[in-house]
Structure 1
Amino acid sequence: MAHEHKLEIFRGLVKFKSNTQKIWGVLAFLTLITAVEVVLGIIKPESLTDTYVLGMKSINWIFIILTLVKAYYIAWDFMHLRDEKSSLRRAIVWTPVFLVLYLVFILLVEADYIYEIYKDGFVSWNF
């Protein structure tokens, strides 16, 4: 049974008249987030590169969060998750979010361990 897709984004804050307008609106939103990432990567503000949160620079956390926002929104809009039941949406969206956060945690812990071994251990830097 076919049904009309919702022509709105941001939970109804912005409404469009056609699918073409909606695609352009989503493109503009994703382009804006990407532009923020690129500008932050080029400028690298000292306030974000010198501040550490949970063992990682603040700018890296911003990059991870913005990337997760883009991935979530792509799944939400282009995979039409907004039209599905909430349990399916949660299963599809939250599982990768938790797995990415777990991967980031593991990488941070292991990277810090390797750094400490090379810094204070018997093995010296050979590269």
Structure 2
Amino acid sequence: MVRDDIIEYSLDAHHSEEEGEKIRKKIWKVTAILSIITLVEVLVGAFYPKEVAGSAWEFIKWGYIILTVIKAGYIVMVFMHLGEERKTFKMMIIIPYIIFILYLIFHLSNEGISVGDTWNTFRH
């Protein structure tokens, strides 16, 4: 008995080979960009000396934050199809998240300073 309730979606494709090639090219581009950013993060974490102090450590921390935010934004733009929307809609979605992320960074920085001051008080 042949089932008539199963739909073969691959037969229902409405794009040409050129459009399929563009889609595959975009997938490879997204994979390459996300892989490069992740590779940079992993290499810095694996090979940078653990006894880093001063401005180099600040650069590494802010570098990780910036790379992570860029990667998250790119994922939202591509996989959630926000990149295909109008500019005002993009900004309406992205700006509150940017403000929230900046708030979290500010809050974590202030709390980190406070905790560091408290530890220094108990050490002496």
TM-score by length of 2: 0.73
Distance (Å, rounded) in 2 between the aligned partners of 1:97 and 1:43: 30
User: Which position in structure 2 is the counterpart of 1:36?
Assistant: 40
CA distance in 2, matches of 1:52, 1:102: 22
For residue 62 of structure 1, report the CA deviation from its aligned partner. Answer: 0.3
Aligned-pair distance for 1:68? 0.5
Which runs of 5 or more structure 1 residues have no equivalent in the other structure? 5-15
Give the drift of 1:51: 3.7
* Residue 23 (structure 1) shift: 0.7
CA 1:105 to 1:52, structure 2 compared with 1: closer, same or farther past 3 Å? farther
Structure ranking higher on relative contact order (CA contacts 8 Å, 6+ apart) = 2
1:38, CA displacement in angstroms?
A: 0.4
Does 1:25 pair with 2:29? yes
> Where is the strand percentage greater, Structure 1 or Structure 2?
1
TM-score by length of 1: 0.71
Q: CA RMSD in A?
A: 2.4
Structure 2 CA distance for aligned equivalents of residues 87 and 74 of structure 1 = 19
Runs of 4+ in 1 over 6 A off after TM superposition: none
Q: Which amino acid in 2 is paired with 1:42?
A: A
Tell me the equivalent position of 1:52: 55
Mapped partners of 1:63, 1:50: distance in 2: 16
Name the larger-Rg structure: 2
- Percentage identity across paired residues of the two chains: 34
Partner of 2:99: 98
Q: Tell me the equivalent position of 2:10.
A: none
User: Displacement, 1:44?
Assistant: 1.7
User: Structure 2 regions of 5+ residues with no counterpart?
Assistant: 1-14
Per-residue CA shift, 1:14-72, capped at 9, x if unaligned? xx9421221111101100000000001112268xx43439xx72101000000000011
How many residue pairs are counted as aligned between the two chains?
104
